[in-house]
Each structure stands twice: as structure tokens, then as C-alpha cells.
Amino acid sequence: MKEPKYSVALWRAWQLTWHHKDLWVFGLFAAFLGQMGLVEILSQSTLAVMNINNPSGFLFVWYVVQDFLLTFSAFSFGAVDYIGALWLLLLLGILGIGLLYISVVSQGALVHSAARYAHERRKKMHDLHLSWHVARERFWALLSLNILRKAVVITIASFVAWATVNAVWYGSFGDQMLYLFIFVLAVVVGMVASVWFFYATGYVVVEQYKLLPALRTGWRLFTMHWLVSFEIGFLCIIFNIVLLFILLIALFFFFLPTFFLWSLSVSLGGSILLISVGLTISIILFCLFTVFVGTLFNAFVTSTWAYLFSKMHKHGLVSHVVDLFHGRRI
């Protein structure tokens, strides 16, 4: 059987995402777990550089909760107030756990749907309740993979942040070379870990493997298709850059009402109400557009990796680099 090229897989993943809009719900909730790939490494590293003591969004939330508790304990409240606060924290905790559960299951359901769509080669999507049921049964394995992935991302981001601050503070040639080495190493390790964990996710959801066998088999699949995996990973980076430009252009257009109402308010003597209304409308429209584009993009990227996984571990994939320069396949 002739090995497929991943360009075909990208096109099929886009068709799947665009024509099956019910998958967008999975993409929306799966986005709360972060996008798999090098982009997450770079974004977390940027966050870590901005605050060396807080190299993760999770730690940021934890520090916010700590500050809230310290501020809350500084005031004198009665027993009823404390009970109300505890109920509020309990409610927020339940909502957080519920969101985490839905996000993890949605990620698994999206992977299962895309992989089955690729395997069955049909245009009509199967019943999504099956994908949800399968992902729900594999919840703990999926959650474990996400925790491992986040731990790797946070560790890599912390090293990059330390190297960056060290290079900025001291600025010697050795410190700058150390930063360059750590950054390149972080990019490579981050890409490898992201692809490895995604392949393991595919084995957990699609092939019903347990956690450790999925990790072992996922690593084996990566070593067999490492060049293709890196090519796809860097393509996803390019897609993210394009997405960023789209959002910047959208930011300009959505804030045109604010500029128009600001100009109108100046002609009317500086009405603050018109400016506030325009700004509110622009923010709401831009946020809705960002959520829509982010949901669509996350569904597409996840579907792409799932589609590639389905083809890769069954038939293999052609590397465009090797095929272009050497006329060989891997």
C-alpha cells in the first residue's frame, strides 16, 4: 500500500473540522488544557521569563488563591461569613473539577472522532456519543498524560526562564551561550515530549492501551517517524503565526466602532457614554471572535494529529523533506 503524505492528512483534517461543526464543542473545552506542541512550550517560557518566580499559569492561579486567602484572613468576619466563604470556595472547586473533567473527556473524544474518521474513510461523521463514552472511560489515563505533559512544560519553561534572566543580568559571552544551548535544548525536548504524549494519547483513546504501554508504544511510534513529526510540529508553529496575524487584523477591525464613536463624541463635546459603549461593543465582539477562531483552530490541530496518528501507526507517512531531496520514504 502506498504511504500517504501528511499534506493530504492536513487537508482531510481541515475538511473534518469545517464540515463537522459539532466537533467544535470538543475543541472549545479541550482548549482549556492548552494546545499540544511547541507553541505551548514557547508561550509558557515567555510567561516564565516575565515572572521568574511564577513560570506557569497553574502557579499563577495558585498564587492568586494564596493572596486571596491571606487578604481574607486579615479581616475579622463572623462565623456566618466564614461558612459562606467556605461554600463559595467549595462551589468554585466543584466548578473547576467539572471543567477539568469535561476538558479532558472532550480532548479524548476529539482525538477518537478524528482517528475513527480517518480509519473508516467516510465523509459522514459517526455518532459522537460513542467518542464521548470512550473518552470518559479513559479519563484517568488521559488526565495522567496531561499532568505529565504540563509537568514537562513547566520544567522546560523554568529552565528557559532561569537561563534568560541569567543572560540578562550578567550578560557575559558564556551566559549567552548557555542561554542559547538551553533554549535550543528546550525546543527539541519540548517538541519530542509533546509529540510523544500525543501519540500516547492516541493509543490510550483509539487502541484502548493502558498508560504505561501507551507511553512505550507512543515513543516507539515517534522514533519511527521522528522527521515527519518534527515537520508537522513546525507547520503547526507556522499556523499559529498565521492565527496571530488574523487576530491582530481582527483587533483593528473590531475596534473601529470605538474609533468611530470616539470621533463622534469629540464632535459632540466629549461624551464618555459613547466611548464606553463603543469600547464595550468592540471588546465583546473581539472576545467572541477570538473564542470562535481559537476553538476552530484547536479542533483542527488536534484533528490533524489524531488523523496523522491513525494513518501513521497503520501505514506510515511520507516525509516531504526526504521525499524531496532523496526520493526516499520513512
Domain membership flag for residue 150: yes
Domain membership flag for residue 236: yes
Give the SS3 label for residue 318.
strand
Separation CA 25–CA 302 (nearest Å):
13
Q: In angstroms, what CA-CA distances link 115 with 189, 203, 298, 304?
A: 26, 10, 16, 9
Domain membership flag for residue 41: yes
**Whether the predicted pLDDT of 21 surpasses 50:** yes
Domain membership flag for residue 212: yes
pLDDT tens for 225-268 read 888 888 887 888 788 888 888 888 888 888 777 777 777 766 66
Q: In sequence order, what are the beta bridge partners of 5?
A: 318
Q: In angstroms, what CA-CA distances link 156 with 47, 58, 137, 161, 222?
A: 12, 15, 31, 9, 20
Burial 99-117 (b: 16+ CB within 10 A, else e): ebebbbbbbbbbbbbbbbb
In this structure, are residues 329 and 319 in contact, taking their beta carbons and an 8 Å threshold? yes
Q: How many other β-carbons are positioned within 10 Å of the β-carbon of residue 9?
A: 23
Higher pLDDT: 33 or 330? It is 33
Domain span including residue 88? 6-325
Domain membership flag for residue 330: no
pLDDT tens for 102-161 read 999 999 998 888 888 776 655 555 567 888 899 999 999 999 998 888 888 878 877 877
Q: In angstroms, what CA-CA distances link 140 with 144, 146, 195, 217?
A: 6, 10, 20, 18
- In terms of Cβ atoms closer than 10 Å to its own Cβ (0-12, 13-18, 19+), residue 3 is middle
Q: How many other β-carbons are positioned within 10 Å of the β-carbon of residue 237?
A: 14
* DSSP secondary structure of 15-42: HHHHH-TTHHHHHHHHGGG---SHHHHH
pLDDT tens for 152-209 read 887 887 787 777 777 777 777 777 788 888 888 887 888 888 888 889 999 999 888 9
pTM here is 0.77
Mean pLDDT (whole number) for 269-296: 79
pLDDT tens for 24-63 read 888 888 888 876 555 666 666 666 555 555 545 555 556 6
How many domains does one find in the chain?
1
Separation CA 35–CA 33 (nearest Å):
7
Domain membership flag for residue 1: no
Domain membership flag for residue 148: yes
Domain membership flag for residue 262: yes
